[in-house]
Amino acid sequence: MLNKLNNMKNYLIIGGSSGIGKALTEQMALEGEVYATFNKNETESSIASVSYYHLDVTADELEFEDLPDEIHGVAYCPGSINLMPFKRIKPAQFAEDFELQVNGAVKVIQKVLPNLKAAGNSSILFFSTVAVQNGFNFHAQVAASKGAIEGLTRSLAAEFAPTIRVNAIAPSLTDTPLAGKLLSTDEKKEANAQRHPLKTIGNPENIAQLGAFLLSEKSAWITGQIIHADGGMSSVKG
């Protein structure tokens, strides 16, 4: 692994080619060197401090080349939104979601843990969903995997303290390509906006700004938290 000969901090964004991950990559480029990954769609960046690499988090073995010896922050952004009645979900579909959203995160963190420890004061960021706290129809598949992520967040925060902080963001529906089918018309966007007390749909930049805060030293006294960025849905009755 390479060691950057400068004083800038180094960040690894898994799933940094689209949606929240892309917005977070651009945010962290203001803070240091960013190593971002893509899977299906090859991605390049015009930002000098951003480098993209291919990574399939469902592979049995993950290989990271050209990472610096010290990583100051890791964000795991891959996700899926598969909504259907519980009786129609096959066990294999639960397993596929779990492989992407939980096992993938576990493999990444295990692989780069030495780099995080070498940084001396680092941060891990996961993503959950408002559907873990709030029970929604047809969300069993995604809520099961993201519920595991929330448990993993708290467990690793305890295990890695005091040198590595671990937090998660639990957004509501956000206007990203992943949510495209749910927001494909103006009518769908308006209907979903009205479900939130703030009467708007989240955008990737909203979530990325919070993510950048949690990855930075500005959140040095925050760990083990599931922070809701959901237009008030989880706690406010509109």
Residues 53-96: tens digit of each pLDDT: 999 999 999 999 789 999 999 999 998 888 899 999 999 999 99
Residue 3: pLDDT over 80: no
Within a domain: 236 = no
Token pair for residue 37?
A: 């990954």
Q: How many CB atoms lie within 10 A of CB 71?
A: 26
Of 77, 76, 171, the closest CA to residue 132 belongs to: 171
Token pair for residue 209?
A: 């700004």
Average pLDDT over residues 144-149: 96
Domain housing 23? 9-228
**pLDDT tens digits, 164-180:** 999 999 999 888 877 66
Half-sphere exposure of 187 (CA within 13 A, CB side): 0
Give me the pLDDT at residue 238, please. 60
Give me the pLDDT at residue 6, please. 55
Within a domain: 1 = no
Within a domain: 153 = yes
Within a domain: 2 = no
Within a domain: 4 = no
Token pair for residue 178?
A: 């992943």
Within a domain: 118 = yes
Within a domain: 238 = no
CATH code where residue 139 lies: 3.40.50.720
Give me the pLDDT at residue 79, please. 87
| Full-model pTM | 0.93
Q: How many domains does the chain have?
A: 1
- Whole-number mean pLDDT of the chain? 92
Within a domain: 166 = yes
